[in-house]
Structure 1
Amino acid sequence: MPEPCGRVDLGITRVFELLGKRWTGPIIAVLMTQPVHFADLRRAIPGISERMLSDRLTELAAAGLVLREVSEGPPLRVSYRLTESGAELGPALSALRCWGEKHLLGGVVGEPGAGC
């Protein structure tokens, strides 16, 4: 008789509860390179609404992956950057991007110098 399948562990469950939400991956990917102002972040992710971006950034901040920084104005500007913990997702995101290019995009290469 075959072995019963194993249960998923709490770590992977929590990772996908947070990172598996729509728009979360692209937000983190944009923030990987530098801090970004809210308006620039919205422009960098076609199709995301201001409300959704705000909600996802709030969730990521609550999880300790993103920091919200306010520059006193005028004009008042809000930027976001990854915490050390958020930046540690870099190798995982890079591996997922490469996997996606190979298996979901038929080998279409993304950004130059991406290293896939």
Structure 2
Amino acid sequence: MTLERSHEYLLSLLKELVKLPAETEWVEFKHNNAPEGTCEYISALANAAALIGKQSAYEDRVRACYQHCCLKYVNREPMNNTSLRERLNIEEGNSAIASRVIKQTVESGLIRLYDPNANRKAYRYVPFWA
């Protein structure tokens, strides 16, 4: 199952989230001084609390993975299975959950491998636009 979203959809979603008056269980505001300015304000949380009032856990986790990847990219840090597990509070023994979320986000076209020739253990991901 792929989740294809247009550039326009993603921009409208970002604008909608920026308009929120306060943080929620599923949105955490961030300020980032990266020159790129991408993902300057928002980082979605896709843990159990993120599902409150949301229609789909799948979409929430894919969106959270994409936004986490954006934040890592603008901070010049790699996004990988470990960083996503830490972000989503997934226990180390459940790394397959993070792998599945990353796979779904790659399939949706929102993130891609930084180096397709890298060893699987060294996989790092960047946003589709990077």
TM-score by length of 1: 0.44
Q: Which has the larger radius of gyration?
A: 1
TM-score by length of 2: 0.40
